[in-house]
Chain A
Amino acid sequence: MAYSFDLTVVWAFVIAFAVFAYIVMDGFDLGIGLLFPLLRPGAERDTAMNSVAPVWDGNETWLVLGGGGLFAVFPLAYAVILPALYAPIIAMLLGLIFRGVAFEFRWRDPRHRAAWDVAFAGGSLVAALAQGITLGALLQGITVEGRAYAGGWWDWLTPFSILVGASVVVAYALLGATWLVMRTEGQLQAQARRYALGLTVATVAAIALVSAVTPFLQGRYAERWLAMPNVLVTAQVPLLVALAAYALWRALRSGAERAPFLIALGLFALTFLGLGISIFPDVVPGRITIWQAAAPEASQIFLLAGASVLIPIILSYTAYAYWVFRGKVDAHGYH
């Protein structure tokens, strides 16, 4: 397991970080969209939307950064993955557009608010499902010949990819519900807490199911997770997931407000770590490693020069924005 610590590895971590930042940050605001149909029109929906209004656009920009970074640093991976997952990627983009403008037009066009609410929830569902399916399809393996995708345009659609898609929907909804527990009060908070309890159970079940199936997919997942001596390390991950799930349940039952969201984030971090164990150092699982996909050093250095200045600035500004919005929210905005 001795990997030389080169520039390509640095970039793999930078892009993995961008993807993770995207998943957890857009995850909770997509989750709000998923829960939207369950909330009562009027003050409840307005409050839920207000809670993500100031931050959601910034959240989504990490997706652009992830895509742009992949193109720049791992162009081969970008060129193989996107055609392989053509339908879900396009569906995701269209879902995000719809949801994004629904967000805005909902306020500007109160007469059609009901229709924009449908667009908001529908767009969020399509985007979340498509992201999960993308992950599932990537894990189950894609056909590569030479430097190109060589499969059909429906290859991504399998029971496994649907399972992962549904799991991501459930997990995003959990993030959204715990976010509402943290940011709202009264009736809406109690309702979100009930949903979060149910979604905790569903998320853990989904993680267990996906984890149980993954080793049976083609590829080296079983070997990575189950062979000695790796298993001594990897076995800690499911153990920690179980602990986190228990802590989340307890926190929700005890009436804690911030802990559930933070523990849910921890749960996401653990599953992301699990994905890393399954995939690293591949970028297209079982097909292409990060070194095979990497752009030459001249490209990596050129971009790293700017990224190492700009990303920390962006992060600190993001942190500042979240700090400003740490309070409770109602139908009229933040307090």
Chain B
Amino acid sequence: MLANLDPLILARMQFGFTVAFHIVFPAFSIGLASFLAVLEGLWLATGRQVFMDLFKYWIKIFAIAFAMGVVSGLVMSYQFGTNWSVFSDKTGPVLGPMMAYEVLSAFFLEAGFLGVMLFGMTKVGPRLHFAATLMVAFGTFFSAFWILSVNSWMQTPAGYGTNADGQFVPLDWWAIVFNPSFPFRLVHMVLAAYLTTALVVGAVGAWHLLRDRSNPAARTMFSMAMWMAALVAPVQILAGDAHGLNTLEHQPAKVMAMEGHYQSHPDGAPLILFGLPDQKTGTVRYAVEIPKLSSLVLKHDPNAPLTGLDSLPRAEWPPVPIVFWSFRIMVGLGMLMLLLGALSLLARWRGTLYTWPPLHRFAVAMGPAGFVAVLAGWITTEVGRQPYTVYGLLRTAQSASPLHAPAVAASLTAFVVIYFAVFAMGTAYILRLMAKPPHAGERGIEPGVPIRTAGLTPAPAIDPDRHLQPAE
């Protein structure tokens, strides 16, 4: 069945599928790495055992999430070449070095610090261990820095020239790395990672509070996560707004798709809340809209004119229904996160943070919301970039490898089957760890059990009592 499809569509499905799996685990581990650093810092500062218990509870989950990110990342580093060879040839001189820096920094991170963080507590002493934890948090951020710079360059290319072979070549690395949409995307994505992690931590805390509201570790993690949600959710909404305005400036067609604006509105555009965008007729059916609000949001003036997709040739249109809906899912979940944060502040003020089951149930339900919002946001920005891979310069249809449909159909099927099998196991294992309540004297990762994450480090398989001092 798949083999009858257009190979371009299949290649896009495959890329989307494999990135969708890949994006989830790093988003979680970026936030979790920082959470772990905060926990350890609090433990060092206060000496309270509960922080160390939480550190050891979450580091086991971090190890698996990080491992899943590494496994799915291996595929990504080859997929540009296998399925998007023309894109690779043309953008390699610009994007290749940045991606290589991402690999090198991840490699360096694994080599140097991850093993110490996972296994080294008793061996290097608390201060050096905390330094390693900070380096891991910094390293995951640095990894995100490079990959988001690559992604942003594809959205808002800058600092490049072209050569006789039709390749993009670097002229100004500073302009390439810090291209116009990069700062906004970086902030929006890193906040998303923090929020995602806060929601997961909050859900786990709430789950255990529903069973035993006196569990001190569950209380602490729930309280920390709710602070995070209450503080970061509003900031994230502001950051998203700023990112949207940046997109309006550089990629207006994407914003038109997000808003469902097929038509131009010379005197104030309505905000379409819901509706069914119809790409064929270029209209939004059953639209529920608020007059003038879109102009007010985007231009800060209710009567400001906003052009629609009708101002562009059809060949320049992104697929509006997908972008329209993924954007609404992201924003809707963002509003629910804001509500959760606000309710937690209310409960805190009333002194019922640990004793109000409806709040806990809501927090449990919101556990996966961050992942869904990250995926929806990612779909919005990537599908909104269509029909280009490098916005305005290189079309998606001219980026793909010269492959036949059956080849891509076969690989896509294999990826789907194997990813579901493998990542379902990993996720099941994470959920099993989360189902156990945290307790005093929590144990960390046991030595002798191999962990993919351990990387180059000699720490994991060594008996702690006989370990060499890596600090020497």
Query: Footprint of B on A, CB under 8 Å?
Result: 49-50, 53-55, 57-58, 60-61, 63-65, 67-76, 78-83, 86-87, 89-90, 93-94, 96-98, 100-101, 103-105, 107-109, 147-150, 152-153, 295-296, 298-299, 302-303, 306-307, 310-311, 313-314, 317-318, 320-321, 324-325, 332-334
**8 Å CB interface, B435-464 against A:** 447-458, 460-463
Q: How many A-B residue pairs lie within 8 Å, measured between CB atoms?
A: 239
Closest to B101 in A: A306
| Cα–Cα, bound, A57→B69 (Å) | 13
A53 lies within 8 A of B460 (CB): yes
B77 lies within 8 A of A295 (CB): no
A57 lies within 8 A of B108 (CB): no
Query: Is B81 in contact with chain A by the CB < 8 A criterion?
Result: yes
Chain B: how many interface residues by the 8 Å CB criterion? 76
B residues less than 8 Å from A295 (CB atoms)? 92-93, 96-97, 167, 169
A67 CB contact (under 8 Å) in B78, B410, B456: B78
Query: Footprint of A on B, CB under 8 Å?
Result: 67, 70-75, 77-78, 80-83, 85-86, 88-97, 99-105, 107-108, 110-112, 163, 165, 167, 169-171, 173, 401-404, 406-407, 410-411, 414-415, 418, 422, 425-426, 429, 447-458, 460-463, 468
A65 lies within 8 A of B403 (CB): no
B residues less than 8 Å from A82 (CB atoms)? 78, 81-82, 85, 88, 401
Can you identify 21 A-B contacts, CB atoms within 8 angstroms? Answer: A54-B461, A57-B453, A58-B455, A61-B455, A67-B81, A71-B77, A73-B96, A75-B91, A83-B83, A93-B75, A98-B422, A100-B71, A101-B422, A101-B426, A103-B450, A104-B67, A299-B169, A306-B104, A311-B104, A314-B107, A321-B458
B92 lies within 8 A of A79 (CB): yes
Known A68-B77, A295-B92, A334-B462; judge A83-B85 contact (CB<8 A).
yes
A64 lies within 8 A of B74 (CB): yes
Q: Which of A75, A152, A314 has the most CB of B within 10 A?
A: A75
Other A-B pairs beyond A69-B100, A78-B85, A321-B458, 8, CB < 8 Å: A49-B450, A58-B455, A61-B107, A65-B107, A72-B99, A94-B418, A107-B450, A153-B407
A residues less than 8 Å from B80 (CB atoms)? 71, 78
B402 lies within 8 A of A60 (CB): no
B461 lies within 8 A of A50 (CB): yes
| Cα–Cα, bound, A49→B461 (Å) | 11
| Cα–Cα, bound, A104→B169 (Å) | 42
A334 lies within 8 A of B170 (CB): no
Known A96-B74, A98-B418; judge A79-B81 contact (CB<8 A).
yes
B124 to chain A, nearest CB (A): 14
B residues less than 8 Å from A298 (CB atoms)? 93, 169-171, 173
B residues less than 8 Å from A303 (CB atoms)? 96-97, 100-101
| Cα–Cα, bound, A303→B77 (Å) | 16
A residues less than 8 Å from B90 (CB atoms)? 75
